[in-house]
Structure 1
Amino acid sequence: ADIMVFQRLRRMKQWWPAPTASSIFGNLLDTYAFFAIAFYHTNDAFMAEHWIGIGFVDYLVKITANLMIFLPVYGVLLNFLIKKIEDK
């Protein structure tokens, strides 16, 4: 079912919905999995109690960087490649 969602997003006229959705959901899964595996039931009492909040802040930093830096760079690169292909 998830594959169908991204297929629909890739077929849209705008280029940015698919990589944006992929970034949001991929980073969410990655961040939650990392913090849950690394710090759940750890001997560090602070991290055992606060890993969810720290993970959430980490997620926000990742999404902010992704939307402000990587997504625009992807758009510029995509436009460059499309122009190169169209010129041939």
Structure 2
Amino acid sequence: MPVNKQLALPVAAMVVVVVVSNIMVQYPINDWLTYGALTYPVAFFVTDLTNRAFGPAQARRVVRWGFFCAVVLSAWVATPRIAFASGSAFLVAQLLDVFVFNRLRKESWWKAPLASSVIGSAIDTTLFFSLAFAGSGLPWLTWAYGDFAVKIGMALLMLAPYGGIVRRRFAGV
């Protein structure tokens, strides 16, 4: 089923975020962090805004389309192993994010995006780094710990723009 006009922007944003993150995760900042940790948390932001605006069914639709497009592009611009690891981790983590967010959506405005992003990031980080780098000789465990810590920080930082957007655009949704 094709993406309707209202979901085109979230799908495009998701694809850009994931592909850029898959390129950037290949470049470590140091022994405990990659550049991908700075960009990937935006995927949860996109999912949560989509869920808030259009509901869980449409958010899952954005995740599925984002998954498909990002895996194809990532295999071309990154490596097949990164694309497989990213796609697997992304699909599981983002669908879990949709579920957790939806369960908490009637709580305080900040609980759903923060809890779903933290839980989704934990699953994503564990799956991605173990599939992408295990056995490579690279310091993937320390990268995973560092990336997860940054993802939590980014989830906290993104609460401000999330709250602002929700108050301005999605009041009553």
TM-score over 0.5 for the pair: yes
Q: Give the distance between the partners of 1:27 and 1:16, measured in 2 at CA.
A: 16
Alpha-carbon spacing, 1:6–1:35, altered in 2? closer, same or farther (3 Å): same
1:23 deviates by 0.6
What is the number of residues matched between the two proteins?
75
Q: Deviations over 1:4-61 (max 9, x none)?
A: x54442122x11101101110111111111110111122xx3x2xx322220111111
**Counterparts of 1:11 and 1:66, CA distance in 2:** 19
Distance 1:24 1:33 in 2: 14
d(CA) in 1 for partners of 2:122 and 2:170? Answer: 30
Equivalent residue for 2:111?
Answer: 17
Residues 1:26 and 2:99 are matched in the alignment: no
Gaps of at least 5 residues in structure 1 are none
Does the C-alpha gap of structure 1 residues 62 and 7 become closer, same or farther in structure 2, counting only changes over 3 Å?
Answer: closer
Higher helix share: 1
Name 1:60's counterpart in structure 2.
149
Query: What stretches of structure 1 move > 6 A for 4+ residues in a row?
Result: none
CA RMSD, aligned part only? 2.0
Residues 1:75 and 2:163 aligned together: yes
Q: Percent identity?
A: 37
1:76 Cα offset (Å): 0.4
Q: Which entry has the higher C-alpha Rg, 1 or 2?
A: 1
Q: Distance in 1 between matches of 2:135 and 2:170?
A: 49
Amino acid at match of 1:15: W
For the residue of structure 2 that corresponds to 1:15, the secondary structure is coil
